Structure 1
Amino acid sequence: MSVEKDETRAATVHEGGCACGAFRFRATGKPIRVCICHCTTCRQVHGSAFGAYAIYARGNVMMSGSLSTWKSSDDGRRHFCPACGSVAYMEFTTRDEVDLPIGAFDETGVFEPTYELWCKHREPWLPQGARAEYDEGRPH
């Protein structure tokens, strides 16, 4: 559900959650950035050719429900629903951000990625040149 009101009175809200509904989130405002990641971990976690994320400031996301956590790298944490296995979100301990999978939002067509990471692992049949591309991580 998206609620759009006068920008001076209330911010845009986008909601979503896991496949079974046990975990829900509510993101307020606009994401900091939106990306596609082709790293091997995102590919395996999503069971797809890539992961796509809307990245929000941690303070702009409210969550409810129980999750399990997997330490996917030294500073990476991936949270998932223990009931259905859906990826709920990921975060890095070095950033005050929450990476919400685009596919977990209730609406489609809301977010368009502006860059792609880990393109050295991108499937060759995927189109190239549609947005900024980085062979590995994004420069900060």
Structure 2
Amino acid sequence: MIHHGGCLCGAVRFACAGEPINVRICHCRNCQRATASPFFARALFSHDALTIDGETARHPSSDALDRMFCPRCGTRLFTWRNTRPVVGVALVCFDDPNAFVPTEHIWVSAKVGWVTLNDGLPQFPENPA
């Protein structure tokens, strides 16, 4: 199965082949700051599963991770792992934002206080092994 998506202005389109490795909601401070949101909901795919049409820009937010976005509209699309061949794809950037359902919360030790997690999903203080 192929899942398509893109940025707000349409300059970047992408396709992900197959099913994700996992689907998580990250509450870490880097994700909060990078997305200007209390968390980042993403599906993790292998680098090989993702094809991108259009120009993207990158910002290295750590030694392990680059954040990729559309340079025209600024939509934050991907978190590109440099230490493993995987990429996180923002769930809301898929054409069907309900295509994947998160299965757990990670980095809840950094969760903002006014966010209440009552969805019954497992919660991890950091990144589970």
Which of the residues 58, 78, 92 maps onto 2:67? 78
Moved over 2 A (4+): none
Q: Give ranges in structure 2 of 5+ residues lacking alignment.
A: none
What is the match of residue 46 of structure 1?
35
State the distance in 1 between where 2:97 and 2:119 align. Answer: 23
On the 8 A contact 1:71/1:78 being kept in 2, the answer is: yes
**SS of residue in 1 equivalent to 2:33:** helix
Which of the residues 60, 82, 99 maps onto 1:110? 99
Q: Offset of 1:75 from its aligned partner?
A: 1.2
Give the TM-score of the pair, scaled to structure 1: 0.86
On the 8 A contact 1:23/1:88 being kept in 2, the answer is: no
Q: Offset of 1:128 from its aligned partner?
A: 4.0
> Aligned AA for 1:103?
V
Q: Percent identity?
A: 33
> Aligned AA for 1:120?
S
Q: Offset of 1:108 from its aligned partner?
A: 2.5
User: Deviation per CA, 1:83-138, whole angstroms, max 9, x where unpaired?
Assistant: 11111211111111111000110103211111111101223432246222111122
- Within-5 A mapping of 1:1-20: 12-20=1-9
Determine whether 1:24 maps to 2:13: yes
State the distance in 2 between where 1:108 and 1:99 align. Answer: 14
**SS of residue in 2 equivalent to 1:62:** strand
Which of the residues 48, 52, 59 maps onto 1:63? 52
State the distance in 2 between where 1:103 and 1:93 align. Answer: 23
Determine whether 1:91 maps to 2:80: yes
The structure with more radius of gyration? 1
State the distance in 2 between where 1:129 and 1:102 align. Answer: 17
Number of paired residues?
128
User: Deviation per CA, 1:40-88, whole angstroms, max 9, x where unpaired?
Assistant: 1111222211100011111111111111110100111111111111112
What is the match of residue 5 of structure 1?
none
Q: Give ranges in structure 1 of 5+ residues lacking alignment.
A: 1-11
Which of the residues 97, 109, 117 maps onto 1:127? 117
